[in-house]
């Protein structure tokens, strides 16, 4: 099974790779678009600025391969900024994102200490194989100043409260993304990576039957 961790110099790559290795797979950490096109599973990590991350993805020719990959229905896991980049736009610099998920990225409300840094709980709204064995209201590690606000609340699989309830887990078919960092969230975080690897292995075993997902490109991005 070929699992790719996307390297665009904006992610916690070493920690993500080590977490995946502990889950039984040796990932390819690469920014090569050709490797994404032939991957069985992809992880998009990310920290820092959304506009800077999008510029890095464009510079490396990764925007269209990412959109095509998600559209194929193969397993995809976005982490932190990797969730936010799936939206249409970010209020950070009023910049376009990947446009895979209708919605926007908003800044946490004024008056709060930002970034939101530390452990917080997740209230799961829906079950998903990637969160198998994860108890309700489990705590995970967050570091962020912005959050994703998907237009369709039906795919918001988990919510966290920090001054405002926000989407901390998005799940639609084989597309899963978290605002928190599983690789920094001790045993439960590692369980998420184990479950994602299991999902990817299962999908590979029944390849040719992808979970339908149609990305919606954003004009001019």
CATH no. for residue 181? 3.40.50.880
Residue 72: inside a domain: yes
Q: Is residue 218 part of a domain?
A: no
**Does the annotation mark 183 as catalytic?**
yes
Report yes or no on 144 lying in a domain: yes
Assigned domain for 215 exists: no
* 177 domain-assigned: yes
Number of domains comprising the chain: 1
Domain assignment of residue 221, yes or no: no
Active site residue: 116, 144, 181, 203, which one?
181
> Is 128 in the active site?
no
Per-residue model confidence (pLDDT) at position 211:
44
**pLDDT tens for each residue of 8-54:** 987 789 999 999 999 999 999 999 999 999 999 999 998 889 999 99
Q: What is the pLDDT of residue 195?
A: 97
User: What's the confidence (pLDDT) of residue 115?
Assistant: 95
In the prediction, which pLDDT does 215 show?
46
Residue with more model confidence, 47 or 175: 175
26 in any annotated domain: yes
Q: Which of 80, 128, 167, 194 is catalytic?
A: 80
pLDDT band at 217 (very low <50, low <70, confident <90, very high): very low
Residue 56 included in any domain: yes
pLDDT at 96 over 90: yes
CA-based nearest residue to 33, from 55, 60, 11, 59: 60
State which residues form the domain around 44: 3-205
Q: Kindly name the residue from 104, 144, 167, 183 that is annotated as catalytic.
A: 183
Q: What is the pLDDT of residue 210?
A: 45
Report if pTM > 0.85.
yes
């Amino acid at each position: 099974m070929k699992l790719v961790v996307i390297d665009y110099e904006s992610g916690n790559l070493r920690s993500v790779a080590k977490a995946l290795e502990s889950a039984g797979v040796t990932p390819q950490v690469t920014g090569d678009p050709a490797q994404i096109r032939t991957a069985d599973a992809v992880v998009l990590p990310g920290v820092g600025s959304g506009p800077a991350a999008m510029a890095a993805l464009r510079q490396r020719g990764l925007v269209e391969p990412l959109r095509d990959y998600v559209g194929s229905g193969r397993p995809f896991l976005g982490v932190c900024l990797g969730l936010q980049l799936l939206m249409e736009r970010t209020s950070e610099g009023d910049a376009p994102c990947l446009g895979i998920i209708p919605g926007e990225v908003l800044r946490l409300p004024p008056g709060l200490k930002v970034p939101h840094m530390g452990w917080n709980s997740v209230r799961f709204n829906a079950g998903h194989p990637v969160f198998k064995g994860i108890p309700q209201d489990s705590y995970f590690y967050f570091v962020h100043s912005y959050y994703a606000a998907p237009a369709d609340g039906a795919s918001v699989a988990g919510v966290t409260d920090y001054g405002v309830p926000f989407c901390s887990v998005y799940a639609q078919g084989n597309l899963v993304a978290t605002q928190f960092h599983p690789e920094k969230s001790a045993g439960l975080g590692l369980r998420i990576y184990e479950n994602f690897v299991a999902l990817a292995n299962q999908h590979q075993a029944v390849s040719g039957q992808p979970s339908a997902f149609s990305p919606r490109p954003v004009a001019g991005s």
